[in-house]
Amino acid sequence: MNYQVFDSSADVVAALAESLKEYSQQGRPVHISLSGGSTPSQLFSFLASSDYATSIDWSNLHFWWGDERCVAPEDEQSNYGQAKALLFDHIQIPAENIHRIRGEDFAAMEAIRFAEEMREVIPAENDVPAFDWILLGMGTDGHTASLFPGQTDYETTEIAAIAAHPESRQIRVTKTAHLIQNAKRITYLVLGASKAPVLKEIAEQATAAKAYPAAHVKANAGITEWYLDSEAAKELA
């Protein structure tokens, strides 16, 4: 594992914000995939309330999502809704730079539309859209995006798919492993003691990749890295 251990979530957020600033200064469209969860929400709030709100050139950054629950954007469970309320409503970013998954639409049709939009907008490598940076979380069951243990198709060549949460059966639209693995950079954000046992397995057991999508999904030719806080990393050697 290529991992960096930070003292706190605030230190993780600061590192992510600095990366965003660097990407925004490249003078070209940069395609970034966001995740939901507590760490991104901390990042969004930090960006909106700090100097980064004006020092980042938002016109160069295009934001997408790794997955989305099939709910309306106003719903509290919407990943896009979270980012809009905490960040996009507080910065100057062109509307066309925000590429949300339309969770309120029929999931099967939205997966097709979302895939078409990615193919139209994002430069391809190996005939697959190549994201500059994909941020991912990891659940205590080892899932990432909406790629769940035991129900992830690693062989598909589709780039968007429908998934159901294994417990709630809530329907989501998600990027596929095939698409994610074509990214130039993948950063897993894993915080908290509850994630420590799974991280230990991933670090020490080669068989973990078969059990945990987060262990299996890596950049084929780019960088895969793990940003951890001290609690999540406490069982790592």
- Please indicate, yes or no, if residue 150 is contained in any of the structural domains: yes
* Average per-residue pLDDT for the chain: 96
Radius of gyration of the chain (CA): 17
pLDDT digits (tens, 9 = 90+) for 112-165: 999 999 999 999 999 999 999 999 999 999 999 999 999 999 999 999 999 999
pLDDT of residue 57: 98
Domain that holds residue 18: 3-229
- Please indicate, yes or no, if residue 149 is contained in any of the structural domains: yes
CB contact set of 182 (below 8 Å; sequence gap of 6+): 125, 126, 128, 129, 130, 131, 219, 220
pLDDT category at 8 given cuts 50, 70, 90 is very high
pLDDT of residue 197: 94
Residue 70's CATH number = 3.40.50.1360
For residues 228 and 139, give the distance between their C-alpha atoms in angstroms, rounded to a whole number. Answer: 13
For the question of whether the overall pTM of this predicted structure is more than 0.95, the answer is yes
**Beta pairing class for 171-175 and 67-69:** antiparallel
The count of domains in the chain is 1
Strand partners, 103: none
- Find out whether 24 and 30 touch, Cβ atoms under 8 Å: yes
- Please indicate, yes or no, if residue 82 is contained in any of the structural domains: yes
For residues 23 and 28, give the distance between their C-alpha atoms in angstroms, rounded to a whole number. Answer: 9
For residues 173 and 159, give the distance between their C-alpha atoms in angstroms, rounded to a whole number. Answer: 11
pLDDT score of 237 more than 80: no
- Please indicate, yes or no, if residue 235 is contained in any of the structural domains: no
pLDDT digits (tens, 9 = 90+) for 38-84: 889 999 999 999 999 999 999 999 999 999 999 999 999 999 999 99
